[in-house]
Amino acid sequence: MRNDLGAFLADGVNSPIPTPPNFPRRVISGRGPWLIDNNGRSYIDLWMGFGALLYGHSDALIANAVREGLEHLHFSSIPTPLIDRVSQQLHENYTCAERVRFATTGSDATMLAARLARHVTGRSRILRVHGGYHGGNEFPLSDGGLVKSVDVGDCVLFNDLATLGAALATREFAAFMVEPVLANNGCVPPHPTYLQQARALCSENDTLLIFDEVVTGFRLSAGGAQSKFGVTPDLCTLSKAIAGGLPLSALCGRADLMTDVFFPRGPVFHAGTFAGHPLALHVASAHIDRLNSDPPYDAASNLARIMGSHMDAEMRRLGIKGAVQREGSMLSVAFGVSAFQYGVLATNFDTRRFDIFVAEMAMAGCLMPPLPTETIFMCPAHAAVMDQILLATTTALTAVSRA
Protein backbone atom coordinates (compact mmCIF):
# COMPACT_ATOMS: atom_id res chain seq x y z
CA MET A 1 0.00 0.00 0.00
CA ARG A 2 1.51 3.31 -1.02
CA ASN A 3 1.23 5.87 1.72
CA ASP A 4 1.44 9.07 -0.29
CA LEU A 5 -2.09 10.43 -0.01
CA GLY A 6 -4.12 10.64 -3.19
CA ALA A 7 -1.66 8.58 -5.28
CA PHE A 8 -4.42 6.87 -7.25
CA LEU A 9 -7.05 9.60 -7.15
CA ALA A 10 -7.27 11.63 -10.30
CA ASP A 11 -5.48 14.90 -9.52
CA GLY A 12 -5.05 13.57 -5.97
CA VAL A 13 -8.49 14.78 -4.87
CA ASN A 14 -12.13 13.75 -5.09
CA SER A 15 -13.78 17.17 -5.25
CA PRO A 16 -13.34 20.64 -6.71
CA ILE A 17 -13.04 22.14 -3.23
CA PRO A 18 -9.42 23.07 -2.42
CA THR A 19 -7.54 21.88 0.69
CA PRO A 20 -6.28 25.12 2.29
CA PRO A 21 -3.03 25.45 4.24
CA ASN A 22 -3.14 23.91 7.73
CA PHE A 23 -6.13 21.69 6.85
CA PRO A 24 -5.94 17.94 7.50
CA ARG A 25 -5.85 15.90 4.28
CA ARG A 26 -7.60 12.94 5.92
CA VAL A 27 -9.69 12.61 9.08
CA ILE A 28 -10.22 9.33 10.83
CA SER A 29 -12.72 9.99 13.59
CA GLY A 30 -14.98 12.58 15.11
CA ARG A 31 -17.02 13.28 18.20
CA GLY A 32 -19.40 16.18 18.86
CA PRO A 33 -17.72 19.32 17.48
CA TRP A 34 -14.35 17.56 16.99
CA LEU A 35 -12.63 15.94 14.01
CA ILE A 36 -9.41 13.99 14.51
CA ASP A 37 -6.92 13.68 11.67
CA ASN A 38 -4.57 10.87 10.68
CA ASN A 39 -1.79 12.42 12.80
CA GLY A 40 -3.95 12.45 15.92
CA ARG A 41 -4.55 16.20 15.91
CA SER A 42 -8.04 17.44 16.90
CA TYR A 43 -9.88 20.25 15.16
CA ILE A 44 -13.19 21.98 15.84
CA ASP A 45 -15.36 21.42 12.76
CA LEU A 46 -17.38 24.44 11.62
CA TRP A 47 -18.28 22.79 8.31
CA MET A 48 -20.30 19.92 9.85
CA GLY A 49 -20.53 17.61 6.88
CA PHE A 50 -21.64 20.36 4.47
CA GLY A 51 -24.41 21.18 6.97
CA ALA A 52 -25.77 17.63 7.23
CA LEU A 53 -24.91 17.18 10.91
CA LEU A 54 -27.24 18.91 13.36
CA TYR A 55 -26.05 16.99 16.43
CA GLY A 56 -22.30 16.88 15.77
CA HIS A 57 -20.07 13.95 14.84
CA SER A 58 -20.69 10.33 15.87
CA ASP A 59 -24.01 11.18 17.46
CA ALA A 60 -25.37 8.16 19.34
CA LEU A 61 -28.78 8.35 17.69
CA ILE A 62 -27.31 8.15 14.20
CA ALA A 63 -24.85 5.40 15.16
CA ASN A 64 -27.61 3.33 16.79
CA ALA A 65 -29.94 3.80 13.85
CA VAL A 66 -27.21 2.61 11.45
CA ARG A 67 -26.62 -0.48 13.61
CA GLU A 68 -30.35 -1.18 13.90
CA GLY A 69 -30.85 -0.65 10.18
CA LEU A 70 -28.05 -3.10 9.41
CA GLU A 71 -29.63 -5.73 11.64
CA HIS A 72 -32.99 -5.44 9.82
CA LEU A 73 -32.13 -5.35 6.13
CA HIS A 74 -29.43 -3.17 4.81
CA PHE A 75 -30.42 -3.30 1.14
CA SER A 76 -32.88 -4.93 -1.20
CA SER A 77 -34.44 -4.20 -4.57
CA ILE A 78 -37.92 -4.23 -3.02
CA PRO A 79 -38.66 -1.26 -0.77
CA THR A 80 -39.10 -1.67 2.96
CA PRO A 81 -41.97 -0.01 4.93
CA LEU A 82 -39.52 2.75 5.82
CA ILE A 83 -40.20 4.37 2.46
CA ASP A 84 -43.80 4.94 3.57
CA ARG A 85 -42.80 6.04 7.05
CA VAL A 86 -40.30 8.66 5.85
CA SER A 87 -42.51 9.93 3.03
CA GLN A 88 -45.21 10.51 5.66
CA GLN A 89 -42.70 12.32 7.89
CA LEU A 90 -41.71 14.59 4.97
CA HIS A 91 -45.39 15.19 4.24
CA GLU A 92 -45.99 16.18 7.86
CA ASN A 93 -42.96 18.48 8.05
CA TYR A 94 -42.94 20.18 4.61
CA THR A 95 -45.95 22.20 3.55
CA CYS A 96 -45.38 21.51 -0.15
CA ALA A 97 -44.86 17.77 0.31
CA GLU A 98 -48.17 16.29 -0.77
CA ARG A 99 -46.17 13.65 -2.64
CA VAL A 100 -42.56 12.46 -2.34
CA ARG A 101 -40.01 10.62 -4.49
CA PHE A 102 -36.68 9.52 -3.01
CA ALA A 103 -33.26 9.62 -4.64
CA THR A 104 -29.68 9.52 -3.39
CA THR A 105 -27.97 12.87 -3.89
CA GLY A 106 -29.03 16.49 -4.06
CA SER A 107 -28.07 16.52 -7.74
CA ASP A 108 -30.46 13.63 -8.43
CA ALA A 109 -33.31 15.52 -6.80
CA THR A 110 -32.71 18.81 -8.62
CA MET A 111 -32.33 17.00 -11.93
CA LEU A 112 -35.65 15.25 -11.36
CA ALA A 113 -37.30 18.53 -10.31
CA ALA A 114 -36.19 20.21 -13.53
CA ARG A 115 -37.30 17.25 -15.64
CA LEU A 116 -40.72 17.21 -13.99
CA ALA A 117 -41.15 20.98 -14.36
CA ARG A 118 -40.30 20.78 -18.06
CA HIS A 119 -42.83 18.02 -18.53
CA VAL A 120 -45.74 19.64 -16.69
CA THR A 121 -45.30 23.10 -18.19
CA GLY A 122 -44.18 22.13 -21.68
CA ARG A 123 -41.45 24.76 -21.38
CA SER A 124 -37.75 23.94 -21.44
CA ARG A 125 -35.92 26.82 -19.76
CA ILE A 126 -35.22 26.84 -16.03
CA LEU A 127 -34.54 30.21 -14.40
CA ARG A 128 -31.96 30.22 -11.63
CA VAL A 129 -30.19 32.64 -9.33
CA HIS A 130 -26.68 33.96 -9.95
CA GLY A 131 -24.28 32.00 -7.72
CA GLY A 132 -26.91 29.49 -6.67
CA TYR A 133 -25.82 25.87 -6.82
CA HIS A 134 -28.05 22.94 -7.66
CA GLY A 135 -25.58 20.13 -8.07
CA GLY A 136 -23.25 18.62 -10.61
CA ASN A 137 -25.82 18.02 -13.35
CA GLU A 138 -25.30 19.50 -16.77
CA PHE A 139 -28.21 21.96 -16.57
CA PRO A 140 -28.13 23.45 -13.11
CA LEU A 141 -24.44 23.56 -12.35
CA SER A 142 -23.20 26.56 -10.38
CA ASP A 143 -22.50 29.69 -12.33
CA GLY A 144 -20.16 30.72 -9.56
CA GLY A 145 -17.40 31.37 -12.03
CA LEU A 146 -15.56 28.19 -11.05
CA VAL A 147 -17.08 25.99 -13.69
CA LYS A 148 -16.48 26.50 -17.37
CA SER A 149 -17.52 23.15 -18.81
CA VAL A 150 -21.24 23.75 -19.26
CA ASP A 151 -23.71 26.43 -20.17
CA VAL A 152 -25.44 27.23 -16.90
CA GLY A 153 -28.44 28.85 -18.52
CA ASP A 154 -30.58 31.74 -17.41
CA CYS A 155 -29.83 33.57 -14.18
CA VAL A 156 -31.15 36.52 -12.22
CA LEU A 157 -29.72 38.06 -9.07
CA PHE A 158 -31.03 36.71 -5.76
CA ASN A 159 -33.19 39.28 -3.93
CA ASP A 160 -33.77 41.24 -7.15
CA LEU A 161 -37.51 41.19 -7.83
CA ALA A 162 -37.44 43.56 -10.80
CA THR A 163 -35.30 41.30 -12.98
CA LEU A 164 -37.13 38.22 -11.74
CA GLY A 165 -40.47 39.76 -12.71
CA ALA A 166 -39.18 40.75 -16.16
CA ALA A 167 -37.73 37.29 -16.82
CA LEU A 168 -40.86 35.46 -15.70
CA ALA A 169 -43.09 37.78 -17.74
CA THR A 170 -41.60 36.27 -20.90
CA ARG A 171 -43.53 33.14 -19.85
CA GLU A 172 -40.72 31.05 -21.28
CA PHE A 173 -39.61 29.44 -18.05
CA ALA A 174 -40.78 26.09 -16.78
CA ALA A 175 -39.55 26.88 -13.30
CA PHE A 176 -37.70 29.28 -11.08
CA MET A 177 -35.30 27.15 -9.05
CA VAL A 178 -33.93 28.96 -6.03
CA GLU A 179 -32.27 28.24 -2.71
CA PRO A 180 -34.67 30.08 -0.36
CA VAL A 181 -31.67 31.15 1.70
CA LEU A 182 -28.73 31.36 -0.66
CA ALA A 183 -26.04 29.08 0.77
CA ASN A 184 -23.64 28.83 -2.16
CA ASN A 185 -22.93 32.52 -2.70
CA GLY A 186 -22.09 33.29 0.89
CA CYS A 187 -24.99 33.10 3.31
CA VAL A 188 -27.67 35.39 1.91
CA PRO A 189 -31.02 35.66 3.69
CA PRO A 190 -33.96 36.61 1.51
CA HIS A 191 -35.21 40.21 1.78
CA PRO A 192 -38.37 40.28 3.92
CA THR A 193 -40.88 39.85 1.07
CA TYR A 194 -38.64 38.29 -1.57
CA LEU A 195 -39.90 34.73 -1.31
CA GLN A 196 -43.57 35.78 -1.05
CA GLN A 197 -43.25 37.97 -4.13
CA ALA A 198 -41.32 35.32 -6.05
CA ARG A 199 -44.18 32.97 -5.21
CA ALA A 200 -46.73 35.44 -6.58
CA LEU A 201 -44.72 36.16 -9.75
CA CYS A 202 -44.33 32.45 -10.49
CA SER A 203 -48.06 31.83 -10.05
CA GLU A 204 -48.95 34.80 -12.29
CA ASN A 205 -46.74 33.46 -15.06
CA ASP A 206 -47.59 29.76 -14.77
CA THR A 207 -44.00 29.03 -13.78
CA LEU A 208 -43.29 26.47 -11.09
CA LEU A 209 -41.52 27.69 -7.98
CA ILE A 210 -38.91 25.14 -6.90
CA PHE A 211 -37.20 25.65 -3.56
CA ASP A 212 -33.88 23.85 -3.57
CA GLU A 213 -33.79 23.06 0.15
CA VAL A 214 -30.84 20.67 -0.14
CA VAL A 215 -29.02 22.89 2.36
CA THR A 216 -31.88 24.59 4.22
CA GLY A 217 -34.12 21.51 4.64
CA PHE A 218 -33.94 20.27 8.26
CA ARG A 219 -31.13 22.83 8.79
CA LEU A 220 -33.15 26.03 9.27
CA SER A 221 -36.08 24.25 10.84
CA ALA A 222 -37.62 20.77 10.76
CA GLY A 223 -39.89 22.16 8.04
CA GLY A 224 -37.08 23.91 6.16
CA ALA A 225 -37.14 27.44 4.84
CA GLN A 226 -40.68 27.05 3.53
CA SER A 227 -41.93 26.67 7.09
CA LYS A 228 -39.62 29.33 8.52
CA PHE A 229 -40.66 31.96 5.93
CA GLY A 230 -44.23 30.77 5.41
CA VAL A 231 -43.98 30.39 1.63
CA THR A 232 -45.03 27.17 -0.08
CA PRO A 233 -43.26 26.27 -3.32
CA ASP A 234 -44.72 23.93 -5.93
CA LEU A 235 -41.79 21.54 -5.57
CA CYS A 236 -38.84 21.27 -3.23
CA THR A 237 -35.66 19.24 -3.07
CA LEU A 238 -34.14 17.94 0.17
CA SER A 239 -30.96 16.08 0.91
CA LYS A 240 -28.02 16.85 3.18
CA ALA A 241 -29.60 16.86 6.65
CA ILE A 242 -32.50 14.43 6.12
CA ALA A 243 -30.54 11.37 7.17
CA GLY A 244 -28.01 13.10 9.41
CA GLY A 245 -25.07 12.37 7.13
CA LEU A 246 -26.16 9.33 5.14
CA PRO A 247 -26.85 9.72 1.42
CA LEU A 248 -30.53 10.32 0.79
CA SER A 249 -32.49 12.93 -1.14
CA ALA A 250 -36.09 13.65 -1.97
CA LEU A 251 -38.21 15.55 -4.41
CA CYS A 252 -41.41 16.74 -2.74
CA GLY A 253 -44.32 18.61 -4.22
CA ARG A 254 -47.94 19.14 -5.14
CA ALA A 255 -49.99 15.98 -5.65
CA ASP A 256 -51.39 17.18 -8.98
CA LEU A 257 -47.87 17.68 -10.34
CA MET A 258 -46.61 14.34 -9.07
CA THR A 259 -49.45 11.97 -9.91
CA ASP A 260 -49.36 9.69 -12.97
CA VAL A 261 -46.38 11.54 -14.43
CA PHE A 262 -43.49 9.26 -13.53
CA PHE A 263 -42.59 6.47 -15.93
CA PRO A 264 -44.29 4.03 -16.61
CA ARG A 265 -47.54 5.86 -15.74
CA GLY A 266 -46.19 8.97 -17.43
CA PRO A 267 -43.13 10.02 -19.37
CA VAL A 268 -40.95 11.49 -16.57
CA PHE A 269 -38.14 9.05 -15.91
CA HIS A 270 -37.02 8.51 -12.34
CA ALA A 271 -34.85 5.61 -11.25
CA GLY A 272 -31.84 4.90 -9.07
CA THR A 273 -30.35 1.70 -7.67
CA PHE A 274 -29.75 3.33 -4.31
CA ALA A 275 -32.70 5.76 -4.47
CA GLY A 276 -34.35 5.72 -1.04
CA HIS A 277 -31.69 3.38 0.39
CA PRO A 278 -33.22 1.45 3.33
CA LEU A 279 -30.30 2.13 5.64
CA ALA A 280 -30.47 5.87 4.96
CA LEU A 281 -34.25 5.77 5.40
CA HIS A 282 -33.86 3.99 8.72
CA VAL A 283 -31.55 6.74 9.94
CA ALA A 284 -33.74 9.47 8.42
CA SER A 285 -36.78 8.22 10.25
CA ALA A 286 -35.05 8.34 13.65
CA HIS A 287 -33.32 11.64 12.81
CA ILE A 288 -36.56 13.39 11.77
CA ASP A 289 -38.31 12.19 14.94
CA ARG A 290 -35.48 13.68 16.99
CA LEU A 291 -35.40 16.94 15.00
CA ASN A 292 -39.11 17.30 15.81
CA SER A 293 -38.94 16.28 19.47
CA ASP A 294 -35.54 17.73 20.44
CA PRO A 295 -35.08 20.60 17.98
CA PRO A 296 -31.49 21.88 17.81
CA TYR A 297 -32.48 25.07 16.00
CA ASP A 298 -32.66 27.72 18.73
CA ALA A 299 -29.41 26.60 20.35
CA ALA A 300 -27.59 26.37 17.00
CA SER A 301 -28.88 29.78 15.86
CA ASN A 302 -27.85 31.33 19.14
CA LEU A 303 -24.27 30.04 18.73
CA ALA A 304 -24.17 31.34 15.15
CA ARG A 305 -25.41 34.70 16.42
CA ILE A 306 -22.68 34.79 19.09
CA MET A 307 -20.00 33.91 16.55
CA GLY A 308 -21.32 36.46 14.03
CA SER A 309 -21.48 39.27 16.60
CA HIS A 310 -17.99 38.43 17.79
CA MET A 311 -16.61 38.57 14.23
CA ASP A 312 -18.39 41.87 13.59
CA ALA A 313 -17.05 43.42 16.80
CA GLU A 314 -13.51 42.16 16.21
CA MET A 315 -13.48 43.38 12.60
CA ARG A 316 -14.53 46.84 13.83
CA ARG A 317 -11.92 46.83 16.59
CA LEU A 318 -9.17 45.76 14.20
CA GLY A 319 -10.26 48.14 11.43
CA ILE A 320 -11.05 45.37 8.93
CA LYS A 321 -13.69 46.12 6.34
CA GLY A 322 -15.97 43.11 6.10
CA ALA A 323 -19.47 41.74 6.53
CA VAL A 324 -21.00 38.78 8.31
CA GLN A 325 -24.38 37.49 7.18
CA ARG A 326 -26.43 34.88 9.01
CA GLU A 327 -29.66 32.97 8.83
CA GLY A 328 -30.36 30.59 11.69
CA SER A 329 -27.35 28.33 12.23
CA MET A 330 -25.73 29.32 8.89
CA LEU A 331 -23.33 32.22 8.58
CA SER A 332 -20.54 33.49 6.36
CA VAL A 333 -18.04 36.32 6.19
CA ALA A 334 -16.70 38.39 3.30
CA PHE A 335 -13.83 40.86 3.51
CA GLY A 336 -13.59 44.17 1.67
CA VAL A 337 -17.37 44.67 1.44
CA SER A 338 -19.95 46.06 3.82
CA ALA A 339 -22.77 43.69 2.76
CA PHE A 340 -23.54 41.06 0.15
CA GLN A 341 -27.29 41.08 -0.24
CA TYR A 342 -27.07 39.60 -3.77
CA GLY A 343 -24.30 37.14 -2.84
CA VAL A 344 -20.52 37.52 -2.55
CA LEU A 345 -20.05 36.78 -6.24
CA ALA A 346 -21.94 39.97 -7.07
CA THR A 347 -19.33 41.98 -5.13
CA ASN A 348 -15.61 42.69 -5.32
CA PHE A 349 -14.85 40.86 -2.12
CA ASP A 350 -11.26 40.30 -1.04
CA THR A 351 -10.34 36.65 -1.71
CA ARG A 352 -6.77 37.06 -0.44
CA ARG A 353 -7.94 38.09 3.01
CA PHE A 354 -10.52 35.31 3.04
CA ASP A 355 -7.85 32.71 2.26
CA ILE A 356 -5.67 34.06 5.07
CA PHE A 357 -8.61 33.90 7.46
CA VAL A 358 -9.36 30.24 6.60
CA ALA A 359 -5.69 29.22 6.92
CA GLU A 360 -5.30 31.06 10.26
CA MET A 361 -8.53 29.58 11.63
CA ALA A 362 -7.20 26.12 10.77
CA MET A 363 -3.85 26.93 12.39
CA ALA A 364 -5.82 27.90 15.52
CA GLY A 365 -7.69 24.57 15.34
CA CYS A 366 -10.97 25.50 13.63
CA LEU A 367 -11.94 24.14 10.22
CA MET A 368 -14.35 26.29 8.25
CA PRO A 369 -15.54 25.85 4.67
CA PRO A 370 -12.58 26.94 2.55
CA LEU A 371 -14.57 28.80 -0.11
CA PRO A 372 -16.05 32.27 0.45
CA THR A 373 -19.21 31.06 -1.26
CA GLU A 374 -19.87 28.41 1.39
CA THR A 375 -21.38 28.87 4.82
CA ILE A 376 -20.33 27.88 8.31
CA PHE A 377 -22.80 25.52 9.99
CA MET A 378 -23.23 25.63 13.76
CA CYS A 379 -24.84 22.98 15.92
CA PRO A 380 -25.53 22.74 19.67
CA ALA A 381 -22.41 20.56 20.13
CA HIS A 382 -20.35 23.71 19.50
CA ALA A 383 -21.56 25.18 22.82
CA ALA A 384 -18.84 23.26 24.71
CA VAL A 385 -16.06 24.78 22.57
CA MET A 386 -17.40 28.27 21.97
CA ASP A 387 -14.57 29.95 23.89
CA GLN A 388 -12.01 28.23 21.65
CA ILE A 389 -13.94 29.20 18.52
CA LEU A 390 -14.10 32.87 19.55
CA LEU A 391 -10.43 32.91 20.50
CA ALA A 392 -9.46 31.33 17.14
CA THR A 393 -11.60 33.94 15.37
CA THR A 394 -9.80 36.77 17.14
CA THR A 395 -6.39 35.25 16.35
CA ALA A 396 -7.28 34.74 12.68
CA LEU A 397 -8.78 38.22 12.29
CA THR A 398 -5.69 39.73 13.87
CA ALA A 399 -3.60 37.98 11.20
CA VAL A 400 -5.99 39.27 8.53
CA SER A 401 -5.61 42.84 9.85
CA ARG A 402 -1.83 42.59 9.48
CA ALA A 403 -1.85 41.04 6.02
Q: Which candidate, 128, 130, 129, places its Cα nearest to that of 347?
A: 130
3-state DSSP call for residue 33? coil
Residue 273, class by beta-carbon neighbours within 10 Å (0-12 exposed, 13-18 middle, 19+ buried)? Answer: exposed
Cβ-based nearer residue to ligand PMP, 16 or 230: 16
Stretch that binds ligand PMP, among 14-22, 144-152, 178-186, 338-346 (CB under 6 A): 178-186
Tell me if 244 sits within 8 A of 294, measured CB to CB: no
Q: Which residue's C-beta sits nearest to ligand PMP?
A: 106
Count other C-beta atoms under 10 Å from residue 235's C-beta. 28
Q: How far is residue 60's CA from residue 55's CA, in Å, rounded to a whole number?
A: 9
Binding of ligand PMP by 350 (CB under 6 A): no
Q: How many residues does the chain have?
A: 403
Q: Which candidate, 4, 246, 213, 199, places its Cα nearest to that of 94?
A: 213
Cβ-based nearer residue to ligand PMP, 135 or 224: 135
Tell me if 197 sits within 8 A of 190, measured CB to CB: no
Binding of ligand PMP by 87 (CB under 6 A): no
Minimum distance, C-beta of residue 316 to ligand PMP, in the bound complex (Å)? 31
- Name which of residues 102 to 121 contact ligand PMP (CB under 6 A): 105-107, 110
Cβ-based nearer residue to ligand PMP, 243 or 358: 243
Angle between helices 278-293 and 60-72 (to 10 degrees): 140
Binding of ligand PMP by 214 (CB under 6 A): yes
Binding of ligand PMP by 226 (CB under 6 A): no
Minimum distance, C-beta of residue 212 to ligand PMP, in the bound complex (Å)? 5
Cβ-based nearer residue to ligand PMP, 253 or 365: 253
Binding of ligand PMP by 135 (CB under 6 A): yes
Binding of ligand PMP by 179 (CB under 6 A): yes
21 residue type, one letter: P
Binding of ligand PMP by 184 (CB under 6 A): yes
- Binding residues for ligand PMP, per CB under 6 A? 50, 105-107, 110, 133-136, 179, 183-184, 212, 214-215, 239
